Amino acid sequence: MSIQTNTMLKMETEYASPIVAQSLDQWTVSARQFVLEKMIANISPADGERGAVLASPSRNNPNYYYHWVRDAARTMSEIAKLNGLDKTNFKDQYYQLMVDYVEFSKINQTTPTVSNSLGEPKFYVTGQAFSGPWGRPQNDSPAQRALTLTRWANILLANGEQQYVTGILYDGQEPSFSLIKADLDFVANHWQDSCFDLWEEVDGSHFYTRMLQRTALREGADLASLLNDQGAADFYNQQAELIENAMSDFWSEDKGYFMATLNRVGGLDYKYSDLDVAVMLGTFQAMSKTHPFLSPNDDKILATAYALHQAFDPLYPINAIEQTASGEPVAPGIGRYPEDKYTGSGPLSQGNPWFLCTACLSGTSYKAAALFAAQKSIQITQYNVNQLNLAVALIDTKLVLNVGDSFSNKTKAFKTIIQGVKALGDAYLRRVQIHAGEDVSLSEQFSRYDGYMTSAVDLTWSYVSVAISIDLRNELNF
């Protein structure tokens, strides 16, 4: 088993108590820079093509030394946001990283693969297709790549780079050999197809995949319209609307949460609860400023978040640590799904909490707080009452919310709710903080028993998820 040093959680046979932790206001400043540096360190490895993005430098036990289309798109979405912030030098290091990523993605799109589709999930860092047995296709992958490049295309257009956009990224032709349009055409024509989920384990129809496909099509339609490809824009919007109309099928009134998968046709068969953090990751990663849908403050999304919190809190012994030495609350570590057996570094046994999953619950809490703060009132429903009471208790243990309550933004209760939801986000981020290694190194997982990091080292997706969560926290003005 791969064990990494954890500089904060010193423990042998007993849980550390108390845990001394730097305040989040201080920690997030240095942590944000560290995670960016570690993200960039996994881009363009020396033994690969420029533009390849390592899922992790780990080459064995487990071997993640590949370019996963999904993970790479999530990573480069964060890089794209940085391009253009320096108004005096648009073609900065981030611009070059994006150009390299585009060139490598063109190789991915045109290389023959086992699935013979744009849903091929992973490639060697040399660009060669991985041809071994695998869960394929994974049709969230082209959606995530299209969304990342669509957003970068808008940055390019705002900086006078239309020739690059129309020549390389979106040519408006049929059939198209440009990156974004090829991916969008694939998504629009194949979103109803069965595929494997983000965990590469179950073949069916997935909440996570559909959410990414929907947002990619909506924002892609805007780009198509801007570039005078109105026929494609209309088609993308039509398909996005069909996805939106179908998302309610994932809701289970009996279970009280969104199920991760419908119409399973293959893969793992022991996910009996169908409760999976993939739902929250779908919400987290498909957030759109221009086309919001099933946002983190949605009642049923909050119900799903509560179900996950309640499922994982007693499942992992490490969650017995509930506060720092200064009394700041620490939320449970969150894994993938309760029945998980994947440990990454060893045989199938008992799954662990993951950094990216825990950070996702943090980030969605911050975004929910921001969205609530922008409202004129908050209605307490049968779906959101439990999660909001969980949050409120972190601020005021005497305040109990009841179904049917309504609080205007002028009331003390309203302010307590949004402060509580932010505090819940902090509690999840604090869980990440106390298990992170030196200089905020993050593996894939941390042990359910002792809290030490395990599985793949320096997982790029862990850094991405924490970066987004910190950015959402920094956007809050209360």
Q: Which residues are the active-site residues?
A: 197, 200
Distance between CA atoms of residues 310 and 292, nearest Å? 27
Distance between CA atoms of residues 209 and 216, nearest Å? 11
Runs of H (alpha helix) within 111-191: 140-158, 162-164, 179-190
Q: How deeply is 137 buried, as exposed, middle or buried, from its count of CB atoms within 10 A (0-12, 13-18, 19+)?
A: buried
Residue 137 preceded by cis peptide, ω within 30:
yes
Cβ proximity of 452 and 4 under 8 Å: yes
User: CA dist 261 to 10, 277, 429, Å?
Assistant: 39, 12, 27
Altogether, the residues listed in the chain come to a count of 478
Q: How deeply is 147 buried, as exposed, middle or buried, from its count of CB atoms within 10 A (0-12, 13-18, 19+)?
A: buried
User: CA dist 64 to 61, 123, 439, Å?
Assistant: 9, 11, 22
Written as one string, the DSSP assignment of 328-395 is: -B-PPP--S-TT----SSSSSS----BHHHHHHHHHHHHHHHHHHHTSSEEE--TTTHHHHHHHHTTT
